[in-house]
Amino acid sequence: MPDLLLRAEGVHKRFGDLVVLAGADLEVPRGSVVSVLGRSGTGKSVFLKCLAGVLAPESGQVCFDGQTLDTTTRESFRRRCGYLFQNNALFDSLTALENVALPLEQTTDLPDREVRERALEALRQLGLQDHRDRHPGELSGGMQKRLALARAIVTRPELVLFDEPTAGLDPLRRNAVFTMIAKYQRQFGFTAVIVTHDVAEALVVSDRVALLDNGRMRFEGTPGAFSASADTVVRGFRDSAAALGNTVSALRRGEQAPFEDP
Amino acid sequence: MMEIPMLRFLGRHALSSVHGLGGFALFMARAFAAIPGARRLFRRFVRAGHEQGVRCLPVILIVGLFTGLVLGLQGYYVLNRFGSEGLLGTLVSLTLVRELGPVLAALMLVGQAGSALAAELGIQRNSEQIAALDTMGVNSHAYLISPRLLAALFAYPMQTALFVSVGLLGGALSGSLLLGLAPGVYWSAVERALDPRDMAECFTKAGVFGLLTISLCAYHGFHTHRLRGVTGARAVSAATTRAVVQSSILVLCADYVITSFFV
């Protein structure tokens, strides 16, 4: 029985008539990197927000370190959890240093000098020490991502949730972000849950992989098991590049090919 | 059969209004309840005071001066018909202190600080900055709203006092420099006209207007994501417009209620 830091059981979430999550489960062992894969619009980000307590599920439960998250435990959970938003969600009116210092200033009683030292240390660890007085709008996309990570880890959380950290990035930057996650996960020892579309990269950096489909986890296991799975949805997702090649080749030969509206 | 859709329409809007009022009351209550637990509140309070105070100073001074100038001109010509030009100071001071000062200053502050607040919070909501605060375990009411409400309690009365002072000066400029009324006559009328009750009315109005308008602007900006039928930049624009329009109406309604207690 692995030492679980986070466990989601039967999470249901709907928006009006639209059922997004229909009993999603996930187990996250302590110290591991878990990737949640899935097509666009399957509710991966909603699931992550339910894990973080930003959205309240209609039913089901999320347990962190053995405790069910509810109104009494959520605040302490949030202090032990970092969250990296897809668009970084940095405060554009604050400097890089102020952004990183914000969670320390607002959730701890540390003196100002220590807050500043710890924020500077986080910036230094992520190679942003020379940009501490710049505003997020003055930084490149990669720097903003690192700044968001610095803010997420400055409180030394046990768990960091990554919401599509590579969305909209080119392959080189995508690799750089995954490398960054792998590097700092080792360096700081946090447990990571990554929501992503990038199958190949996720399989490399993750200890476990889950595939969300139709509101439930279609697959949950090791990257090796994912690669070997005979499940049609898993195969469709995993072998999408090969399938694309076959479809385009068929179209070039003038044959009919199955085509799905994106 | 025609009455049913009409009744439905009225019922829906009545329920929606009650729901909105309840939401607004809860929002204010949360912001005040968050004050004791707010960390580094003073720093945020000073920043909010700067937004509502220093940044709004030019508009308060300009509008206050011209209000006084116009009051001086109009008042002088009306009083002159009855041979009572000596009461110009009384007319300008009572009008400014009891009514125009708090109301116009509040409207100017809504236009500048209130609209900026609604837009800023709306953008922060859209770009998930407020959600980021929640995930960090930061009380977003304590961080974003409470300091602004506290600052409004100080900034509005101070801005109103400035508005009235500059307005009185404007009245003196019109009456004395342009129309030849002796300055001593004007200022002694001002001194005789005002009593502590007038000042209490003025500052009560300013404080209440500040609290109501900044809360309402913050409420609309904070809940930009709940607007129906609009998203993104248009939602921010719609929330800001609602905030300014409703705050302006609220100032005039609250003015009537407070005045009825003081007269």
- Lowest mean pLDDT, pick from A160-164, A229-233, B94-98, B199-203: A229-233
Residue B128 has its nearest CB partner, among A78, A89, A103, at A89
User: Beta strand pairing status for A191-195 and A159-163?
Assistant: parallel
The answer to whether B174 and B69 have CB atoms below 8 angstroms apart is yes
In this prediction, residue A78 carries a pLDDT of: 87
Chain A positions touching B120 (Cβ under 8 A) are: 93
pLDDT single digits (tens) B1-53: 556 888 898 998 899 889 989 999 999 999 999 999 899 999 999 999 999 99
DSSP character at residue A194: E
Q: How many CB atoms sit inside 10 A of residue B249's CB?
A: 11
In this prediction, residue A180 carries a pLDDT of: 82
Mutation target to probe the A interface, by most A beta carbons within 10 A, among B43, B123, B125, B129 is B129
Residue holding tokens 């308008």? B213
- Could you say which of 3.40.50.970, 3.40.50.300, 1.10.260.40, 3.90.1170.50 is the CATH number of the domain covering A1-80+160-167+192-257? 3.40.50.300
Per-residue pLDDT of chain A (262 residues; tens, 9 = 90+): 678 999 999 999 999 889 999 999 999 999 999 999 988 888 999 999 999 988 889 999 999 998 898 888 888 888 889 999 988 999 999 999 999 999 999 999 999 999 999 999 999 988 899 999 999 999 988 889 889 989 998 998 999 999 988 877 778 878 888 888 888 888 888 999 999 988 888 888 899 999 999 899 999 999 999 989 888 888 888 777 566 666 667 777 777 666 555 5
Residue B135 has its nearest CB partner, among A83, A92, A105, at A83
Q: How many CB atoms sit inside 10 A of residue B261's CB?
A: 8
Tell me the DSSP string of chain B: -THHHHHHHHHHHHHHHHHHHHHHHHHHHHHHHTTTT-TTHHHHHHHHHHHHTGGGHHHHHHHHHHHHHHHHHHHHHHHHHTT-GGGHHHHHHHIIIIIIHHHHHHHHHIIIIIHHHHHHHHHHHHTTHHHHHHHTT--HIIIIIHHHHHHHHHHHHHHHHHHHHHHHHHHHIIIIIIT---HHHHHHHHHHH--HHHHHHHHHHHHHHHHHHHHHHHHHHHTGGG-SS--HHHHHHHHHHHHHHHHHHHHHHHHHHHHHHH-
Checking ipTM against 0.85, whether it exceeds it is: no
Q: Supply the Cα-derived Rg of chain B in whole angstroms.
A: 22
Mutation target to probe the A interface, by most A beta carbons within 10 A, among B47, B128, B236 is B128
The answer to whether A57 and A50 have CB atoms below 8 angstroms apart is yes
Residue-wise burial string across B84-113, b where 16 or more C-beta atoms lie within 10 A, e elsewhere:
ebebbbbbbbbbbbbebbbbbbbbbbbbbb
Tell me if A105 and B39 make a contact (CB, 8 A cut-off).
yes
Residue A78 has its nearest CB partner, among B39, B129, B136, at B136
In this prediction, residue A239 carries a pLDDT of: 76
pLDDT of B102 over the 70 cut = yes
CA dihedral A118, A124, A130, A132 (to 10 degrees): -30
Chain B positions touching A71 (Cβ under 8 A) are: none
User: Beta strand pairing status for A67-68 and A59-64?
Assistant: antiparallel
For A153, the enclosing helix (H) or strand (E) is helix A141-153
Tell me if A106 and B129 make a contact (CB, 8 A cut-off).
no
d(CA B85, CA B91): 10
Q: For the packed helices B146-172 and B41-52, what is the interaxial angle rounded to 10 degrees?
A: 30
Name the interface residues of A facing B (CB cutoff 8 Å).
Answer: 49, 52-54, 75, 78-79, 81-83, 85, 87, 89-93, 102-103, 105-107, 109, 151, 155, 161
The answer to whether A192 and A165 have CB atoms below 8 angstroms apart is no
d(CA A85, CA A78): 15
Chain B positions touching A49 (Cβ under 8 A) are: 131
Burial of residue A192 (CB within 10 Å: 0-12, 13-18, 19+) is buried
Tell me if A85 and B39 make a contact (CB, 8 A cut-off).
no
Name which of B151, B143, B142, B116 is nearest B240 in CA terms.
Answer: B116
Domain boundaries, chain B: 40-262
